[in-house]
Amino acid sequence: MPASLLSRDSAALERSRKLLAEFPSFADRPGLPQARMLVDYILGRRAGELDVSGRDAQGTFVPAEAVARQPQRIIVVDDAHGMQTTLMGRLAEVETRHDRIDEERSVEDTVEVAETAAETGSPPVEDGQDPHETWAVVNAPKATNALAETIATLHPSVTTIIVIGRSDAMSRAVNKELARGFGRVDVSPGVGKHRMIIGSRPLPTPSLSRFPEHGTITHPGNGDLEVRAHGACFSGIRKDEGSALLLDSVQSLLTASGTGEEAAPDSEFAPGSVLDLGCGNGWLLTAVMQATGAARGAGLDVSRAAVASARATAEANGIDVDIRLADAADSTDPELKGLGEFDLVLLNPPFHQGTAIETDSAEAMMAAAARHLAPGGVVITVFNSHLRYRGRLEAIIGDSEQLARNKKFTVIASRG
């Protein structure tokens, strides 16, 4: 694969190198190949060296208006490392959007440091930049629904959407979703392990997907529950296997204690309050609130899509709970102040973040569960069995016992 979309003797390539040289701290960091590819593409388009698809325009006719219609504004979506935001900010006005607040905060820190080091101000308006031309750069999400909702949200306010990601993860579904809203869809050449798929010429009557999705989840003991899910919400309108096994364990504890509709006054397990750390689409929290009859419930998630989904799911089922956009793994998050303690804490630590395997935040979430656990309360955790979290739960929360296990998941109850 070539190292750049631009030819070796390209004037745009020389300018790209000079821009990258202003940020030596970016060298060899994750995310740099995608950021560099975007810089090359924009500068190459601006100079008339590249066509819409990112291919060499030499020997082909590139209309003058196509070169002139370069963006004065770029919306960067889910830039986990902050490099795209920083470098694009030297070429145009930039707006960033993130689904995850932990990534958003990390990027804010990265961009602030980079701008201070480079002493940059507002990017100059260059000849040919069109104030009405707005592009969006979307870092390809793992879920097609996440991309579909992002495209639907951006479509009314942009003229071009560039989806960028690893070549092996860029399926035909990306082309299909862009084609719902754009008359032209181009696939760029690969650079290293990455490529872009570009939607341009917005359709006046697009056939875009609509969110949130509506569905029904049926589970023994709870019956039918309405579920709502936005595109980037984990598991969508389906119940994930881990949450289903966790709910089975809660129901078993309730049955063993004689709680529920036939609750005994001296029940050992009769939680009056429930907290879900990482509430996702809200199905599990809603189901546990119904099963326990708890008077108070709360859910936290770092994903804006998840928070909107959980609120809609709880409302659809007539459940009143406090859903907050918060990072449970960050003890300094202001949304955690005043949250209080809970008799039952539900925990499903993240195993994947996007397409990457990630387990570092699990201990931080266990610590959060311990902080918000009421005296005599219980934390019920589900996790992929091969992770063997029981020892960590014992050390961080307290005495732990296995409630359930299957080929994929393990459920542990920990008491403080």
Q: How far is CA 106 from the centre of its chain?
A: 14
Per-residue pLDDT, averaged over 397-403, amounts to 97
Q: How far is CA 361 from the centre of its chain?
A: 15
Q: How many CB atoms lie within 10 A of CB 200?
A: 20
Using the predicted structure, report yes or no on whether residue 311 has a pLDDT greater than 60: yes
CA dihedral 407, 217, 272, 300 (to 10 degrees): 80
Q: How far are the Cα atoms of 87, 124, 170 from residue 121, in angstroms, in the given order?
A: 12, 9, 35
pLDDT at 295: 98
- Convert the pLDDT of each residue in 38-94 to its tens digit: 999 999 998 889 999 999 987 666 565 555 567 889 999 999 999 999 999 999 999
Check whether the bond before 131 is cis (ω within 30° of 0).
no
> Global pTM?
0.89
> What domains can be seen in the chain, in order of their start residue?
11-202 (3.40.50.150), 213-415 (3.40.50.150)
Q: How far are the Cα atoms of 6, 58, 91, 175, 302 from residue 24, in angstroms, in the given order?
A: 21, 32, 18, 35, 31
pLDDT band at 416 (very low <50, low <70, confident <90, very high): confident
196 Ramachandran zone, left/alpha/beta (phi>0; psi -120 to 50): beta
One DSSP character per residue, 325-370 reads E--TT-TT-GGGTT---EEEEEE----EETTEE--THHHHHHHHHH
**Residues ≥6 apart with Cβ < 8 Å to 360:** none
CA distance 357 to 322: 29
Q: How far are the Cα atoms of 98, 233, 360 from residue 163, in angstroms, in the given order?
A: 15, 19, 28
pLDDT band at 129 (very low <50, low <70, confident <90, very high): low
pLDDT at 114: 53
Whole-number average pLDDT of the chain:
89
- Convert the pLDDT of each residue in 177-214 to its tens digit: 999 999 999 999 999 999 999 999 999 999 999 999 99
- Convert the pLDDT of each residue in 334-356 to its tens digit: 999 999 999 999 999 876 444 44
